Structure 1
Amino acid sequence: MSATVPTSGGTGGDTGDAAGAGVGIRLGLAANLPQFVLLVAVNALVGGMLGQERITLPLLAETVFGLSAHTAALTYILAFGTTKAITNFFAGTWSDRYGRKPVLIAGWLIALPVPAMLAWGPSWGWIIAANVLLGVSQGLTWSTTVIMKIDLAGPARRGLAMGFNEAAGYFAVAATALATGHLAERFGLRPAPFLLGAAYAALGLGLSTLIVRETREHARAEAAAHPVGGHHHAELSTRQIAWRTSVGDRSLSAAGQAGMVNNLNDALAWGIFPLVFAARGLGVAEIGVLGALYPAVWGLGQMATGWWSDHVGRKHLITAGMLVQAAAIALVALGESFTVWAAAQVLLGAGTALVYPTLLAVIGDVAHPAWRARAVGVYRLWRDGGFAVGALLAGIIADLWSLEAAVWTVAGLTGVSGLVVAVRMTETRPGRA
């Protein structure tokens, strides 16, 4: 499905699918398929940059750098989550001001030194610094690919577009985690696993610089044709948008807290689960398989759940997904075998797949095109702040009590978050709101 909207004159930039002056810009996946597919591939490389750390860094903290305290060992997730969350906020504003493509390229440039710092950094401080850069890079690149796909897709297939975006990113996380687990088993924890990241960064920068096209004009054209208060919405300040997204709008604020708790879960899976599995006697390769199962199911499942949310609505999928995640995390705490933990990882991936693209679709549904990019930035500020909150919370509880206590705490918080969505969020899908 596609729609043609008139350009709003005098805005400049690459008009994507505009056939010529006065013809207009076409919205929709079919009308923008080559660029959409390219952006899916770019986001897979973005996800791969994150996947290179999923198995190796929790084990490096203990075996190479001798960090026995869980709070200290999880500082890399704290550094990553904090910088990514803050950068997400600015990425939306900058993409409106300067265009999407320059922000995307800047993100890849910042990513270039990260693999080398992880592979050869002589102290834990180097690992922290690498994750600061990685957080900034991910905030710029992942946020921008989300915004660009929303620009191209138009309102009718927004959930499907987000499903493909997040599926590509998190399937790449899974595939890279699996690959680095095997590389670490065969060649050691450093440097071999991080050579994949170096290749991803070089390829991502090349594609973004040479082939990706600007999509800001698609959002401007959609805003010009929007039936409700376009001029008023264009005058909203960033502060007003931040308040509306974080607190003022029931659906947007419910999405923000659910996103934060979801990534709090991911911090637990990233930093604590490998330690739980290792403490129960699993080897690096087995931990790599478990670490890959969760994002693999999460990634692949989003192609279906994003499409599903376009047809049945957003709210109930998000509520169900949070409750399924809570059950899966509890199963990790209860489990004693690889088989049980594998089932828990599949269940956790399925619950996350119900939630992740659907939350982004909610933001696209509610936010006016004139301030949508900034709303995405605010939402992703809260969502990726969950990495930092999760690292601190899980680390402190693990140090005070146990790894299992940290897992149970996060399971409870996840269940409460699902109930908040059920009570506070309204249905936002176009045609059902």
Structure 2
Amino acid sequence: MSTAAPIRLGLKENLAQFSLLVAVNALVGAMVGQEQTVLPLMAEAEFGLTGYTFLFTYVLAFGLAKAVTNYFAGTWSDRFGRKPVLIAGWLLALPVPLLLIWAPAWGWVVAANVLLGVSQGLTWSTTVIMKIDLVGPRQRGLAMGLNEAAGYGAVAAASALAGYLAGEYGLRPVPFLVGLAYAVLGIAVTVLAVRETRGHARFETANHTGPAPAETLTDREVFKRTTLTDPALSSASQAGLVNNLNFGLSWGLFPLLFATADLTVPQIGLLVALYPAVWGAGQLITGGLSDRLGRKRLIATGMLTQAAALAGIALADDFTAWAAATALLGAGTAMVYPTLLAAIGDVAHPSWRARSVGVYRLWRDSGYAFGAIVGGVVADLWDLRTAVWAAVLLSLASGLAVAFRMPETHPRDQRQTQEIR
């Protein structure tokens, strides 16, 4: 009679499953990239939308749906297991490309993005939780760097590919047929090869070397700590929100801003892809760097770098200058993105960590919606560049708030592996 292999924590110890989950998250990111370049152009060319606020409704719909679903992904993964939640997310992704191909009206596009947001909330949140389960406390930053690098590297690659295909074959249906292939492959890999990791979290809880939680926290208490009362968790939540506000703004606004310089569709696709490409590749460095240098300085510096980069985008008016500024924006985001997730993992106890990740990602991905609102309203009232300047001010304020309020969360020796509040 065979027995199950003993549970071990660590990147090396779980390399096969960890690598598989990295590949799965790349497919998750590609589902976003398939539409990032194409939809803003499709809105004007095929649906005649000219008001920026109305045009950005698809980003708003995506952001709200993903944000809310992130919260439930954390609680459901604790209740039902990680793998069932991941499978459910992929099944919801399957109709998205078909809705975009067949959409006779803009409302179909908005509905597709609601579905995509729910799918992304379930799939991306769960892959994050599963990787944190597998690696344990020592290499959390590196793990999140690899996860987010795969996801946003795939956003960039899929965005550039969609821009190329749109230029060669038109805005529909070819770019979205590739998206359909991403979804089918994601379902197959998850069902056939991904294994449940909830046991690893339970193992870490049983062998946790830090202080045990004084009591079992309710969902409401986890929400309150992550949102308001814990200075590390709440600082991470606000920085995550502003970070994704910038991404949401770029998703809906940058293609239109770049088009004012009479750039071609493939050129716009390259510029749109450059931001997540640098962001994704940079996380291969910054995630592990945060394990050595700590979390706070990378987060604060990254938010201030984003503010400088956005100012460059607002001032630029040609391909070369925009390319330099969007690359800098990607570098600033790379400093922040995996480090925020690692900080959540540092502070939250294994017994309520999945729920805290869900709350953090609720606020972080609300940034998509705020980006759509800020970008759309300011652009309609003034212009596209003024909307970018609004993001500059918000990023600057966020970076200063982290610098003055957030404590360092990374453990400095083996006696302090977690900070529990």
TM-score range, shorter chain: over 0.9
Q: Which residue of 2 aligns with 1:304?
A: 285
The code of the aligned residue for 1:37 comes to S
Aligned match for 2:251, one of 267, 270, 273: 270
Q: Which residue of 1 aligns with 2:73?
A: 91
Distance 1:175 1:132 in 2: 23
Distance 2:257 2:275 in 1: 15
- Give the conservation status (yes or no) of the 8 Å contact 1:108–1:201: yes
Q: Which residue of 1 aligns with 2:135?
A: 153
Aligned match for 2:337, one of 333, 341, 356: 356
Q: Which residue of 1 aligns with 2:386?
A: 405
The one-character-per-residue Cα deviations of 1:324-371 (angstroms, maximum 9, x if unpaired) are: 100101101100111000000110000000000000000000000000
Displacement of 1:20: 4.0
Q: Which residue of 1 aligns with 2:184?
A: 202
1:53 aligns with 2:29: no
Aligned match for 2:14, one of 32, 51, 59: 32
Q: Which residue of 2 aligns with 1:183?
A: 165
Q: Which residue of 1 aligns with 2:261?
A: 280
Q: Which residue of 1 aligns with 2:416?
A: none
> Percentage identity across aligned positions?
64
- Give the conservation status (yes or no) of the 8 Å contact 2:21–2:127: yes
Distance 2:124 2:226 in 1: 19
- Give the conservation status (yes or no) of the 8 Å contact 2:213–2:349: no
SS in structure 1 at match of 2:35: coil
Structure 1 stretches of at least 4 aligned residues deviating more than 2 Å after TM superposition: 227-233
Distance 1:281 1:132 in 2: 31
Any unmatched runs of 5+ in structure 2?
414-418
Distance 1:230 1:145 in 2: 26
1:126 aligns with 2:108: yes
The one-character-per-residue Cα deviations of 1:256-291 (angstroms, maximum 9, x if unpaired) are: 000000000001111101100101211111000101
SS in structure 1 at match of 2:8: strand
Displacement of 1:226: 1.2
Distance 1:393 1:218 in 2: 41
Aligned match for 2:234, one of 244, 249, 253: 253
Aligned match for 2:206, one of 193, 204, 224: 224
Query: How many positions carry a matched residue from both structures?
Result: 413
Displacement of 1:232: 3.5
Q: Which residue of 1 aligns with 2:195?
A: 213
- Give the conservation status (yes or no) of the 8 Å contact 1:77–1:131: yes
- Give the conservation status (yes or no) of the 8 Å contact 1:261–1:413: yes
Aligned match for 1:333, one of 291, 314, 319: 314
1:66 aligns with 2:36: no
TM-score (norm 2): 0.97
SS in structure 2 at match of 1:396: helix
SS in structure 2 at match of 1:155: coil
Q: Which residue of 2 aligns with 1:16?
A: none
The code of the aligned residue for 1:280 comes to A
The code of the aligned residue for 1:102 comes to P
Displacement of 1:227: 3.0
1:236 aligns with 2:217: yes
Any unmatched runs of 5+ in structure 1?
1-18
The one-character-per-residue Cα deviations of 1:166-219 (angstroms, maximum 9, x if unpaired) are: 000000000000000000001111111111110000000001111000000000
Q: Which residue of 2 aligns with 1:76?
A: 58
The code of the aligned residue for 1:293 comes to L
Displacement of 1:299: 0.3
SS in structure 2 at match of 1:230: coil
The code of the aligned residue for 2:323 comes to A
The code of the aligned residue for 2:29 comes to G
Distance 2:29 2:159 in 1: 10
Displacement of 1:120: 1.6
From the superposition, tell whether residues 316 and 109 of structure 1 become closer, same or farther in structure 2 (CA, over 3 Å): same
Distance 1:115 1:151 in 2: 31
SS in structure 1 at match of 2:49: coil
Q: Which residue of 2 aligns with 1:414?
A: 395
Q: Which residue of 1 aligns with 2:122?
A: 140
Over aligned residue pairs, what C-alpha RMSD do you find?
A: 1.1
- Give the conservation status (yes or no) of the 8 Å contact 1:246–1:253: yes
Distance 2:325 2:335 in 1: 16
- Give the conservation status (yes or no) of the 8 Å contact 1:155–1:430: no
- Give the conservation status (yes or no) of the 8 Å contact 2:248–2:372: yes
From the superposition, tell whether residues 231 and 428 of structure 1 become closer, same or farther in structure 2 (CA, over 3 Å): closer
